[in-house]
Structures are given as C-alpha cells and as structure tokens.
Amino acid sequence: MKNGNYLRKLSKMVVARKYVLAKHFEGAPKESDLKIVEEELPPLKDGEFLAEAVYLSVDPYMRAYAYKLPLGETMVGTQIAKITESKNKNFPAGKYVVGKFDWRTHTISTGDTGTNQGPASHPPYIVPDFGELPLSYALGVLGMPGTTAYFGFLEICQPKPGETVIITAAAGAVGSIVGQIAKIKGCRVIGVTGSNEKGQYLMDNFGFDGYVNYKCDDIEQQLEKVAPEGIDCYFDNVAGEISSKIIKYMKMFGRISVCGSISSYNTNVNTPPKVSCVQLHMLRKQLRMQGFQNYLFYNRSFEGINQNLQWVKEGKLKYTETVTQGFENMTKAFIEMLEGKNIGKAIVKV
C-alpha cells in the first residue's frame, strides 16, 4: 500500500471503547467488575451506519440481566447516538438515533438489531422531533421508562379518579412518571422512597400527596398515616418485604402492577430473599397482581411517547435527570443509581 493510501485508511479508522464484563457481579456491582477495552471498527458496508454515543442509559435491569452475559461480553444497554457516517438511507448522517448499542462509544449498525445478545428491545429509531425539549429525554420520559410508566400503570392498574395510588422507587425514572400520571388521572398519590429528602422532593416538585421512607422502621405506622383508608393501586418497582407490607394495606379489588424487583437484583437469582406471605390478604381482598415487561406494549410505544410529550409540553409532567459526565464514569453512574443516589432518570453524557 502506498504511504498516502495507508495514512488515508488510518485517518478513517474508528476505535470504539466499550465496557466488558471482567467478573460476574456478586452482590452490589463494583468498579472492578467491568473494564474498558478498545476495538477497531471495520469500514462501513452497504446498509450500515456508524453512530457515536452522546447519552447512555444506566438501568436497574442491567444488574439483574448481567449474570446471563459470558465474561468478556459487552454490557447491555441503550443509548442516544449521533450518526456520523451512513450507507443506510433510513439512518442518514447528522441524525440522532436511539439504539440498543450497549456500553460503547461507537457502533456500526444495520438498523435492525442491537450489537449484542441481550434482553428484548426496540430496534434502533431516529429520535422523534421533541421541539425545544432536550435530546436526552429519549432515554427517559420520552423513551423506555416513560412508556413503562404509561402502559404499566394505566393498562394494569386501571386507575379511577379519587383512588389512592402507591409507588415504590417513586423518585426514580419510572416511579416519578407513574406518580404524575396518577395525579393527571385524578388520584391521590403516595411515593415510597429511601430518604425524607427524596420524599419531600416528590411532594414539592411532582405534586405527590405524601410519602413513606422505607428505610425507617415504622413503615406500618407511616402507611396508616398516609393511606388511612387503604390503597387501590400499587405500582411496584421494588418487591421484597416493603411490598408485603403495602399489600396488607390494600383495599378490596385493588390492583398491583409488578414492574420491577430491584430489592432482589443484587441477590443470586436462585436464592431470592424470603418475605412475608401475602396470599391471604390477596384472597380476602380479591386483589389482582400482574407482572409485565415494557415490550408487552412494544407496538404502542409511540402512543405512550406522544402522550407523555404532550403532557410535558403542557407542564403537567415534570421531568428530572441525574446526569453523570464522561463515558469513563459509566460504572460509577450505574452503581450510584442502584444505591439510590439518583433522582429521576440516571444517564451518562459522553
């Protein structure tokens, strides 16, 4: 190869950085469980595009899912990326795309699937026009957490005006949206959080009517105080003993939407935590409990995104993000989200 051609090839070469699993998580994830490696990307083929990460999402499911990944595999995840080069007319250069491109700085995609084996996810899509709203909302209220809140609450809990709704992990990405949708629907809303500061934040910023701090040992007294007449709808992000306590306070024909089980994600999947039995309460009160995964409503995703967008524009749905700067701080952001250091959606800005 002539020297000039070699240099031209070098100048177009893209080196991606990505996080791979160095050690399977045991208990809470540690910085040393993941490591950054570099990967030289090949030139684009017809039908492909190159996308450069701008915002990456850190989500609880990554902790729960990681045991399925072989060591050395790239961590799964969704990001917003800028298309910098394209040989695919549906994904033109200059546009921003939401894709399951995992924990990587640069990705070559055909637009069909993610880069990795992994959980069910939306194929890549161009970020819709949000008007003046920040691009990063596509990872939160105008993305997966937003549609999880919208469908998981409205479809499964079927809330009615005047009913009392309780939400665990209420100050987080999904919980803070569920609470506000419940207020929009005319419900009385109680949030369960890990600190009084977060509880107060919910009341001051998102219009919640009360909160329970699950880290205090008087949970039952707190529940009696905030929901003296009982609970109609429970949106459960957490599971575990707090859920058993809440279920005891539910009213006749109450509905429970099981969205997440974060209290058990740091535990080995084969040895789940033991909690108080709830079946007798469920039977006596004739409660209905349904688990769901976001992709159940996959075909209706944009219905949820568009409704949330309208509510955000109308000022009815407020949105908060906890942003960590720098791709090199992905693991830190992930660990801190699992520890509850976030309010609203935890994301990383490259």
Ligand X SMILES: CCCCCC(=O)/C=C/[C@@H]1[C@@H](C/C=C\CCCC(=O)O)[C@@H](O)C[C@H]1O
Q: Which residues bind ligand X (CB under 6 A)?
A: 60-61, 64-65, 119-121, 144, 260, 293-295
Question: What HEC string does 105-143 produce?
Answer: CEEEECCCCCCCCCCCCCCCEECCCCCCCCHHHHHCCCC
Quote the CA–CA distance of 34 and 138 in Å, as a whole number.
26
Residues 6+ apart with CB under 8 A from 185: 154, 159, 160, 161
Binding region for ligand NDP (CB under 6 A) out of 44-52, 72-80, 270-278, 339-347 = 339-347
140 lies in the binding site for ligand NDP (CB under 6 A): no
173 lies in the binding site for ligand NDP (CB under 6 A): yes
Residues 6+ apart with CB under 8 A from 337: 58, 59, 60, 322, 346
CA dihedral 20, 332, 145, 199 (to 10 degrees): 160
Residue 175 binding target from ligand NDP, ligand X, none, CB below 5 to 8 Å by type: ligand NDP
Binding region for ligand NDP (CB under 6 A) out of 78-86, 102-110, 123-131, 165-173 = 165-173
Residue 119 binding target from ligand X, ligand NDP, none, CB below 5 to 8 Å by type: ligand X
Looking at beta carbons only, is 108 or 346 nearer to ligand NDP? 346
- φ/ψ of 108, rounded to 5, equals -100, 130
Q: Shortest distance, CB of residue 175 to ligand X, whole angstroms?
A: 12
Looking at beta carbons only, is 143 or 159 nearer to ligand X? 143
Q: Shortest distance, CB of residue 11 to ligand X, whole angstroms?
A: 37
190 lies in the binding site for ligand NDP (CB under 6 A): no
Q: Which two tokens stand for residue 143?
A: 């993305």
Contact residue for ligand NDP among 97, 98, 174, 181 (CB under 6 A): 174
Quote the CA–CA distance of 348 and 62 in Å, as a whole number.
15
Contact residue for ligand NDP among 247, 259, 278, 335 (CB under 6 A): 259
Residues 6+ apart with CB under 8 A from 107: 16, 50, 51, 53, 81, 99, 101, 115
- φ/ψ of 143, rounded to 5, equals -150, -150
List contacts with ligand NDP (CB under 6 A): 59-61, 145, 148, 169, 171-175, 193-195, 198, 214, 237-238, 259-263, 292-294, 337-338, 340, 342, 346
